[in-house]
């Protein structure tokens, strides 16, 4: 038997990080088993679907390494509408489903039966199809439905506690529960790997598989992803869009490594490992049952480690969207002609050790490419105290006299300027840093001044001095 797994997102919004984790888990399992990964776009919610959301799904999968052409699909659920209706008809004709015209108020008015929710009122009343007549599945009264789950063992559900659930609406359109089952059957899906939030629907889906005469798939329900308050990640409350992390400058390699750690861990006391190790070691039956905490701070730390591990040339290339403002990235504060690739290459090794996401490269290097620095007024107020004007005068004079404009000479010169005033280097260089870069923190000062050059450095210090008059 060829293993066939599917990832079936809906094109109704940005790509959820929890969905990205499910996609990766399905992808790896298929590769391990020599199977097939199927992408199905569940697009039957016409009111909320947008073509750009479908493209967003495809591009997000590309980004995390599930590239177009390497999987089967994408298929679209809407294209299978005829099969959905045919399956509903077969279930009715075989007696496994019946029509019901009860309203929600009718169902709520009747209580005290053995059923949860709907009490089977129309089971044997012989109501036929018609406007407003929903089709309900006839759940067995006795026995239990056992779900074979690679993570959770064999969850068992008493059939008498499962209501006769709707499989087609009053207008004849099948509900998602039935459509999902029919699509999986049509596509020959053998394993369904998804979040545990879908587990309550699984016995209903399994009953549908069996009623339609097809062996159910093997299930695997992975733990739900939660925030720091142990609440399920929500689009309305939490930062969950994979695209947002991509556009902020998270590396795909860091993101997919971190996502795979949500509920699972590689062997040994390690978390940052090559992707090939994850592909080799991941096992569904080793996934934890407890909820998986999506820790953005930890992801950020992960990303910083991945950035620092890049060869410098790759780091320079990775920063280009933020430096040039290409694609959907916000444009930098300088004009394209002001950007100096050689200057950036000179400071890139320094910047690489100081940023956690690629978008942080802009405030670290903007002073190199702007005619004048962007002054942080809070930093200016904090730094430019009594005596700063005189200190800047002395720095200008000392720097003007330098024969060699290099980091070591600049450092020793400014150190001497501070010593004459009884100041340590940290106190001495703070006003100079703000004057030249506009900030109190950033790249190493003297290496930055070396790249900026004598003329631009002196011009900025003089301008700061005039502001202190």
Catalytic: 235?
yes
- Read off the tokens for 437: 């870069």
8 and 192 Cβ atoms separated by less than 8 Å: no
C-alpha span between 135 and 96 (Å, rounded) = 10
The torsion angles phi and psi of 139, rounded to 5 degrees, stand at: -75, 135
Distance CA 78, CA 183 (A): 10
Catalytic choice (31, 215, 229, 235): 235
User: For residues 35 and 460, what is the distance between their CA atoms, to the nearest angstrom?
Assistant: 63
Can you say whether residue 92 is alpha, beta or left, with left for phi > 0 and alpha for psi between -120 and 50 degrees? Answer: alpha
* Contact (Cβ atoms closer than 8 angstroms) between residue 59 and residue 232: no
Contact 245, 14 (CB under 8 A): no
- Asked if 352 contacts 365 with a C-beta cutoff of 8 angstroms, the reply is no
Q: CA triplet 68, 52, 250: central angle to 5 degrees?
A: 65
DSSP H helical segments within 356-453, as ranges? Answer: 361-369, 377-383, 388-400, 407-420, 425-437, 445-452
Token couple for 53: 């959301």
Backbone φ and ψ of 422, nearest 5°: 75, 25
List, by residue number, the catalytic residues. 235
């Amino acid at each position: 038997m060829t293993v066939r797994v599917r990832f079936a997102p809906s094109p109704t919004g940005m790509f959820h990080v929890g969905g990205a984790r499910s996609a990766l888990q399905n992808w790896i399992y298929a590769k391990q088993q020599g199977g097939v990964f199927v992408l199905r776009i569940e697009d039957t919610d016409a009111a909320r679907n947008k073509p750009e959301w479908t493209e967003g799904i495809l591009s997000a999968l590309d980004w995390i390494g599930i590239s177009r052409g390497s999987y089967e699909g994408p298929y679209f659920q809407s294209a299978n509408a005829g099969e959905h209706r045919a399956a509903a008809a077969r279930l009715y004709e075989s007696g496994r489903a019946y029509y019901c015209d009860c309203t929600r108020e009718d169902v709520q008015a009747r209580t005290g039966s053995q059923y949860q929710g709907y009490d089977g009122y129309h089971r044997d009343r012989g109501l036929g199809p018609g406007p407003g007549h929903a089709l309900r599945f006839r759940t067995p009264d006795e026995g239990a439905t056992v779900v074979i789950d690679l993570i959770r063992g064999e969850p068992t559900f008493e059939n008498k506690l499962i209501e006769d659930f709707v499989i087609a609406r009053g207008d004849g359109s099948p509900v998602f529960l039935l459509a999902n089952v029919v699509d999986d059957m049509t596509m020959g899906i053998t394993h369904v790997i998804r979040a545990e939030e879908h587990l309550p629907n699984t016995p209903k889906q399994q009953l549908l598989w069996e009623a339609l005469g097809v062996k159910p798939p093997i299930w695997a329900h992975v733990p739900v992803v939660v925030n720091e308050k142990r609440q399920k990640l929500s689009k309305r409350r939490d930062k969950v869009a994979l695209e947002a992390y991509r556009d902020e400058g998270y590396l795909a390699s860091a993101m997919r490594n971190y996502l795979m750690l949500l509920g699972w861990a590689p062997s040994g006391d390690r978390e940052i490992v090559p992707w090939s190790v994850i592909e080799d070691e991941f096992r569904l039956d080793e996934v934890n049952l407890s909820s998986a905490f999506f820790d953005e701070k930890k992801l950020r730390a992960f990303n910083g480690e991945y950035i620092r591990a890049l060869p410098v040339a790759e780091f320079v290339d990775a920063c280009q969207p933020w430096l040039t403002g290409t694609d959907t990235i916000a444009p930098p504060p300088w004009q394209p002609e002001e950007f100096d690739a050689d200057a950036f290459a000179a400071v890139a090794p320094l910047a690489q050790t100081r940023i956690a996401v690629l978008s942080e490269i802009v405030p670290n290097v903007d002073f190199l490419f702007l005619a004048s620095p962007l002054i942080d007024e809070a930093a200016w107020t904090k730094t430019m105290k009594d005596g700063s004007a005189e200190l800047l005068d002395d720095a200008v004079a000392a720097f003007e006299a330098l024969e060699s404009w290099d980091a070591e000479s600049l450092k020793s010169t400014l150190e001497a300027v501070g010593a004459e005033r009884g100041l340590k280097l940290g106190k001495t260089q703070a006003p100079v840093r703000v004057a030249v870069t506009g900030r109190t923190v950033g790249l190493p000062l003297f290496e930055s001044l070396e790249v900026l050059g004598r003329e631009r450095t002196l011009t900025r210090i003089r301008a700061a001095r005039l502001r202190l008059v």
